[in-house]
């Protein structure tokens, strides 16, 4: 069984999507449509912008979404996934790929999500940090000793990202290193994603999600909040909102997909970060990048 997976923020790079735009007429139509939907030329930023341009959350998220889903949409009815999952932002790409969301609806929600998250980031001084070399349980235990720090991404065994206020993250990093972490390093991100600090973003996005039409998907999506398969559109909406303030349970999602029969993971989007994580979570399983 095949499992298609879609990356989140951080996978972007200058020039992303340009080759696809130039060589595939159908892809060009989708990219041009995206410029119209958003009301500005995101393709210009993707194809010609700098690293700094692409790091803006309001650019990063729709750019990664487009680079992830357009190659899949070009397959049309030939795309037959058995299951899908996305890391954080990638969940919207996964839901567009499995036809739960239309291309336009998915892009609009991603852009609204990006604006809401950027606004929440600007409201308080928060950040995230990568922690290497400790178990999930050890990181959870240490985070609980500090106010304003939570585990945000359970990426793979020995690799967890924590989220919280800048001061609390600094203190937690010192405690984690004392406990034996190989590394506990603050990341260059806009704020504390997947933490209670994102509640204002969830509030802002709630109306948009609940007023958007979600169709019956063609296959289950394994969602970040519980690492379980979902096909009910209302459950999917609820989980998408909860995802903003809850941790990304990526390790558990991959394990569950393997338990449910996945024997090949195919990553669609910029980079191959998720392929690398799958190989660490389930070394016996094939993981490869989608060939455009």
pLDDT of residue 224: 97
Positive or negative: CA dihedral 161, 162, 167, 173:
negative
Q: What pLDDT, in 10s, does the model give residues 21-46?
A: 999 999 999 999 999 999 999 999 99
pLDDT of residue 29: 96
- Check 68, 87, 88, 195 and give the catalytic one: 88
- Check 93, 163, 165, 194 and give the catalytic one: 194
Q: What pLDDT, in 10s, does the model give residues 260-288?
A: 999 999 999 998 999 999 999 999 999 99
pLDDT of residue 165: 93
**All domains of the chain, ordered by start, with CATH?**
2-122+196-289 (3.40.366.10), 125-186 (3.30.70.250)
87 catalytic residue (yes or no)? no
230 catalytic residue (yes or no)? no
């Amino acid at each position: 069984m095949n499992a298609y997976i879609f990356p989140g923020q951080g996978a972007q790079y200058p020039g992303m999507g340009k080759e696809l735009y130039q060589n595939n007429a159908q892809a060009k139509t989708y990219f041009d449509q995206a410029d119209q939907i958003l009301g500005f030329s995101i393709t210009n930023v993707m194809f010609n912008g700098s690293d700094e341009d692409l790091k803006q959350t309001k650019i990063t998220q729709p750019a990664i979404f487009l680079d992830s889903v357009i190659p899949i949409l070009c397959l049309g009815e030939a795309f037959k996934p058995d299951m899908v999952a996305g890391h954080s932002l990638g969940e919207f790409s996964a839901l567009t790929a499995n036809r739960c969301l239309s291309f336009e609806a998915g892009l609009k929600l991603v852009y609204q999500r990006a604006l809401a998250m950027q606004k929440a980031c600007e409201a308080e001084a928060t950040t995230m940090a990568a922690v290497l070399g400790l178990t999930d349980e050890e990181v959870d235990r240490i985070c609980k000793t500090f106010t304003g720090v939570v585990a945000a991404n359970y990426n793979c065994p020995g690799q967890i990202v924590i989220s919280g206020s800048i001061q609390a993250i600094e203190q937690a990093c010192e405690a984690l290193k004392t406990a034996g972490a190989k590394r506990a390093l603050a990341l260059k991100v806009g704020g504390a994603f997947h933490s209670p600090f994102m509640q204002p973003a969830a509030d802002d996005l709630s109306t948009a999600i609940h007023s958007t039409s979600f169709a019956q998907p063609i296959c289950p999506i394994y969602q970040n909040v519980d690492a379980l398969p979902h096909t009910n559109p209302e459950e999917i909406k609820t989980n998408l909102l909860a995802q903003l303030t809850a941790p990304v349970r990526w390790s558990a999602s991959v394990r569950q997909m393997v338990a449910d029969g996945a024997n090949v993971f195919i990553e669609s989007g910029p980079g191959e970060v998720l392929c690398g994580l799958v190989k660490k979570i389930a070394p016996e399983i094939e993981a490869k990048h989608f060939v455009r």
